[in-house]
């Protein structure tokens, strides 16, 4: 007989093994749960783009179905593989092959779970590594390209209108030159104006060559020369408008986005950040890989250890993974029956009440419904016409509801009809 303390310690050890395996399977289930969550979120957005509550219910449904179809099945398989039957071990053949199908199923289920978790680790590590920086750089490039195209289009439009603009500027410059000269000429006396008019087109005239004339006369002449010089500058600027415009717009027209130093610097920084993100993603993927493989292998080893432990001390901890689903299905079944009862009460009972009051009557098609007389197509009948009315032979009570061969409504009516007296023989003997 084993020591009670040893049995108690064995119970605690078995309990720790069972729940330790549950913890390992829970960690192993993270990969499949996250993948099904991503699938549910994507499908929820496609089906219900403007209904957040239905999107949440869709994600919950996919997560629950994924966990039940993969991880719950694996938990049941490992639980069955760790059980020890009373008949097991009596002969060598049963001991060797009694659990073989269960172990095969458990190994296949574990391999499927590991494969799904390993594949999902790639997507999970990509999400945990952070958002890629390439999308922001691509948006910047697209914005720069649009801006460059817009500026070049505007530059081409300006150059195309440059000749017309230049002619207008030249006309305005000539007019401004004439106004400046006229204003300078009008500052002198009438005799000075006449001198200017006589020598306006002759550079050797007295007006331009005199040296001993009064200073005011020289100032008047110099004012006219200054006005002519300023007007020439204005006209020259107007005549060079197109060439100056081409020179100023040349950098815009010759700009190449691929040679932009700012974009090249941003691209270099983006590539460096993306390389760091890739390294971080690889590290996270390696960690998840080790965690997934470790949990899967440890759960399998723990199943074997638990089985050997139960062989030695017997099974004391009952694993019931089906209870939760049984409760859920029972709740929905009871809820369905209750809803059916409520629907029957709300719909059928008022109908029966109206029939009992005589406000509604049943009908059936008459045998001669193919006749050409429309009034004989249907005949209104009552409830009594639908059944063969039968009465009790003793009290004339309706017994249509009883079996076909019944003649009396009860045993008392049958005995009364036959004048049956209880214990009649004992009375006669007495």
Residue 380 pLDDT class (50, 70, 90 cuts): very low
Residue 99 pLDDT class (50, 70, 90 cuts): low
80: pLDDT strictly greater than 60: yes
- Classify residue 402 by its DSSP letter: S
| Confidence at residue 373, expressed as pLDDT on a 0 to 100 scale | 45
pLDDT in tens, 178-214: 888 888 888 888 888 888 888 877 777 878 888 888 8
| Confidence at residue 187, expressed as pLDDT on a 0 to 100 scale | 84
Enter the pTM of the model. 0.52
Lowest mean pLDDT among 82-86, 191-195, 298-302, 334-338: 82-86
pLDDT in tens, 52-68: 999 999 999 998 888 88
What angle, rounded to 10 degrees, do the helices at 190-198 and 215-239 form? 50
User: 251 exposed, middle or buried (CB, 10 Å; 0-12, 13-18, 19+)?
Assistant: exposed
3-state secondary structure of 424: helix
Question: Bridge-partner residues for 379, per DSSP?
Answer: 364
Q: Enumerate the H helices of 186-260 as residue ranges.
A: 190-198, 206-209, 215-239, 241-253
Q: How far is CA 344 from CA 46, 333, 335, 336, 339, in A?
A: 38, 16, 14, 12, 9
pLDDT in tens, 213-232: 888 888 888 888 888 888 88
Lowest mean pLDDT among 128-137, 174-183, 282-291: 128-137
pLDDT in tens, 235-252: 888 888 888 887 887 777
Please give the helix or strand (H or E) that residue 365 lies within, else none: strand 363-365
Contacts of residue 427, Cβ cutoff 8 Å, sequence gap at least 6: 421
Which long-range contacts does 51-56 make (Cβ < 8 Å, 24+ apart)? none
98: pLDDT strictly greater than 60: no
Question: Bridge-partner residues for 391, per DSSP?
Answer: 398
Mean of the pLDDT values across residues 340-344? 84
Residue 28 pLDDT class (50, 70, 90 cuts): confident
Residue 151 pLDDT class (50, 70, 90 cuts): confident
pLDDT in tens, 394-408: 888 877 767 777 888
Lowest mean pLDDT among 122-136, 147-161, 280-294, 354-368: 354-368
| Confidence at residue 404, expressed as pLDDT on a 0 to 100 scale | 72
381: pLDDT strictly greater than 80: no
> Average pLDDT over the chain, rounded to whole?
79
User: Are 74 and 25 contacting, i.e. CB atoms less than 8 angstroms apart?
Assistant: yes
């Amino acid at each position: 007989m084993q020591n009670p303390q040893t049995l108690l310690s064995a119970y605690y050890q078995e309990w720790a093994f069972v729940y330790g395996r549950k913890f390992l399977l829970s960690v192993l289930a993270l990969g499949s749960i996250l993948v099904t969550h991503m699938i549910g979120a994507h499908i929820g957005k496609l089906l219900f783009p403007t209904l957040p509550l239905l999107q949440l219910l869709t994600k919950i449904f996919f997560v629950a179905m994924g966990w039940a179809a993969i991880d719950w099945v694996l938990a049941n398989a490992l639980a069955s593989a760790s059980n020890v039957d009373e008949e097991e071990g009596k002969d060598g053949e049963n001991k060797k092959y009694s659990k073989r199908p269960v172990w095969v199923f458990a190994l296949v289920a574990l391999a499927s779970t590991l494969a799904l978790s390993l594949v999902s680790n790639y997507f999970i590590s990509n999400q945990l590594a952070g958002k890629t920086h390439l999308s922001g750089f691509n948006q910047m490039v697209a914005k720069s390209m649009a801006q460059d195209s817009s500026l070049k289009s505007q530059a081409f439009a300006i150059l195309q209108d440059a000749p017309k603009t230049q002619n207008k500027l030249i006309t305005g410059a000539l007019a401004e030159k004439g106004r400046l000269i006229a204003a300078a000429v009008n500052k002198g006396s009438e005799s000075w104006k006449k001198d200017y008019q006589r020598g306006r087109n002759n550079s050797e005239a007295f007006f331009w060559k005199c040296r001993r004339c009064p200073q005011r006369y020289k100032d008047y002449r110099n004012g006219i020369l200054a006005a002519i010089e300023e007007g020439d500058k204005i006209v020259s600027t107007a005549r060079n408008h197109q060439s100056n415009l081409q020179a100023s717009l040349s950098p815009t027209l010759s700009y190449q986005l691929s040679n932009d130093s700012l974009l090249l610097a941003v691209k270099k920084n983006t590539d460096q950040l993306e390389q760091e993100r890739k390294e971080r993603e690889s590290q996270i993927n390696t960690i998840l890989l080790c965690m997934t493989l470790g949990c899967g292998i440890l759960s399998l080893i723990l199943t074997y250890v638990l089985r050997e432990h139960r062989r030695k001390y017997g099974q004391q901890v009952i694993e019931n993974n089906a209870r939760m689903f049984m409760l859920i299905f029972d709740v929905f079944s009871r809820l369905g029956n209750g809803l059916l009862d409520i629907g029957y009460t709300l719909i059928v009972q008022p109908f029966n009440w109206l029939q009992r009051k005589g406000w509604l009557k049943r009908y059936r098609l008459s045998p001669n419904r193919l006749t050409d007389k429309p009034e004989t197509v249907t005949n209104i009948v009552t409830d009594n016409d639908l059944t063969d009315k039968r009465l009790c032979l003793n009290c004339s009570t309706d017994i249509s509801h009883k079996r076909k061969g019944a003649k009396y409504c009860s045993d008392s009516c049958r005995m009364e009809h036959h004048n049956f007296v209880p214990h009649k023989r004992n009375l006669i003997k007495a």
